[in-house]
Amino acid sequence: MILAQKQLECHADVVTISSGGTPGQRREPQPVWLPSPADRSLDVALEVLIHGPLSRTEIARRLDLSQASLTRLSVPLLEAGLLVEVEQRNDGRVGRPSRPLDVMAASRYFIGVKLTGERAQAAITDLRANLVASAERALRGHEPDDVADVVAALVLELAAGVPAVTALGVGLGGLVDDHDLVVRAPFLGWTSVPLGRMLQDRTGLPTVVDNDLVALTEAEHWFGAGRGLERFAVLTIGAAVGYGLVMHDRIVLSEDSGVGLVGHWPLHDRGPLCPEGHKGCAQALLAIPSIEQRVSSALGRSMDYDKCLDAAAAGDRAARRVIDEAGRGLGRLVAAVGNLTMPQRIALGGEGVRLARVAAAAVDEGIRRDRDPNANPLDLQLLDGDAAQWCRGAAVLAIQTYLLREPAQRRG
Ligand SMILES: [Zn+2]
């Protein structure tokens, strides 16, 4: 079932990529602008994807190429339909007119899947990560083969709506090795599941799998709130609390990307306990199940997350107390990220992001409490928090990895 058809206009200014390493080893991020000398066409494609449209002179200057080399590199990209000459912009200069190059956004389609414990959500995007359509399916259980069957069916259903799909990206909460192996995904009860290969076998599509926060951070960095920024952070609130960081234009990855380290950051000395026994850590104070549980127990009836926020917004004092306490904690977490990693912007997302609107004053109070009054104000930007954002993140993983790949033949 197609749930949404929309177009989002997005461009990007920044280049990073994570690429595969030796199987079994945690990969290190690799800069994509330093490929083998034979593959400088990738440089050209990426430069135009992220900064285009660009004149040939500008591309040559940015990549330190001669005009002759640029012509040699760009002809196959033009012939493959990946790049296109667009109408000249009138810059008022006299001389031989030249037509700038841009990517043909609709020349390639990618599918991004966000996998939770309950469902698989998927979106199809073009080359610039503009959303084309989305769909979702409930999981029947957590057996890896069953989950892979559901995801593959969803992917093939979406793929049928476009001429061809180049690659598939999957994001999930957990630790993923080598863009393929799910080392640990607690909400699915998985250890060591080669999900990338299982999906590639079922769909015929080249597939990359990674932690969902890594995927979202990459997507916001290339095409969203972090566009053009050297230092950028993402915080998410949802079933868990997540954090992603870009430094010097590159995402920061480690062996623990996917463990959820920020979840246990202390925020409140007298707050609730998390399963690990921390009092008032981010997970205990901000995660959706924890907020639902505390508001429900304060009001003596079962409340879902939106109802908790609605009650606080409507002035219910018990709900307000829990929500404001969480808001102050969120403000302190934002201040900690600002103080320790000095980002130019912090994007706040995840399906629980509405907390930052309902408890805006408490968030400000929390930030002020932990921030030096002489420091610059933090640039905090709220993301939509809808599922499509996670799917788009997963699609960007596929774009980064398989940009130059010809669209694959469908299977199934
Ligand atoms: Zn904790």
pLDDT of residue 346: 98
pLDDT of residue 7: 31
pLDDT of residue 257: 80
Q: Would you give per-residue pLDDT tens digits along the chain (412 residues)?
A: 343 333 333 333 222 333 333 333 444 444 333 344 447 888 899 889 888 899 999 999 999 999 999 999 999 899 988 999 998 765 555 555 678 999 999 999 999 999 999 999 999 999 999 999 999 999 999 999 999 999 999 999 999 999 999 999 999 999 999 999 999 999 999 999 999 999 999 999 999 999 999 999 999 998 899 988 999 999 999 999 999 999 998 899 988 887 888 999 999 999 999 999 999 999 999 999 999 999 999 999 999 999 999 999 999 999 999 999 999 999 999 999 999 999 999 999 999 999 999 999 999 999 999 999 999 999 999 998 888 999 999 999 999 888 888 776 544 4
Q: How far is the centre of ligand 1, averaged over its atoms, from the C-alpha of 324 (Å)?
A: 20
Q: How far is the centre of ligand 1, averaged over its atoms, from the C-alpha of 333 (Å)?
A: 14
Q: How far is the centre of ligand 1, averaged over its atoms, from the C-alpha of 218 (Å)?
A: 26
Q: How far is the centre of ligand 1, averaged over its atoms, from the C-alpha of 329 (Å)?
A: 13
pLDDT of residue 192: 97
Q: How far is the centre of ligand 1, averaged over its atoms, from the C-alpha of 283 (Å)?
A: 6
pLDDT of residue 95: 57
Q: Which residues pair with 177 in a beta bridge?
A: 181
Q: How far is the centre of ligand 1, averaged over its atoms, from the C-alpha of 263 (Å)?
A: 6
Per-residue exposure over 122-154, b if at least 16 CB sit within 10 Å of its own CB, e if not: bbbbbbbbbbbbbbbeebeeeebeebbbbbbeb
Q: How far is the centre of ligand 1, averaged over its atoms, from the C-alpha of 265 (Å)?
A: 7
User: What is the three-state SS of the chain?
Assistant: CCCECCCCCCCCCCCCCECCCCCCCCCCECCCCCCCHHHHHHHHHHHHHHHCCECHHHHHHHHCCCHHHHHHHHHHHHHCCCEEECCCCCCCCCCCCCCCEEECHHHCEEEEEEECCCEEEEEEEECCCCEEEEEEEECCCCCHHHHHHHHHHHHHHHHCCCCCECEEEEEECCEEECCCEEEEEHHHCEEEECHHHHHHHHHCCCEEEEEHHHHHHHHHHHHCCCCCCCCEEEEEECCCEEEEEEECCEECCCCCCCCCHHHHCECCCCCCECCCCCECEHHHHHCHHHHHHHHHHHHCCCCCHHHHHHHHHCCCHHHHHHHHHHHHHHHHHHHHHHHHHCCCEEEEECCCCHHHHHCHHHHHHHHHHHCCCCCCCCCEEECCCCHHHHHHHHHHHHHHHHCCCCCECCCC
Q: How far is the centre of ligand 1, averaged over its atoms, from the C-alpha of 275 (Å)?
A: 7
pLDDT of residue 119: 95
Q: How far is the centre of ligand 1, averaged over its atoms, from the C-alpha of 261 (Å)?
A: 9
Which single residue is written with the structure tokens 């180049």? 166
Q: Which residues pair with 207 in a beta bridge?
A: 168
pLDDT of residue 408: 65
Question: Burial of 55 by CB count in 10 Å (0-12 exposed, 13-18 middle, 19+ buried)?
Answer: middle
Q: How far is the centre of ligand 1, averaged over its atoms, from the C-alpha of 193 (Å)?
A: 26
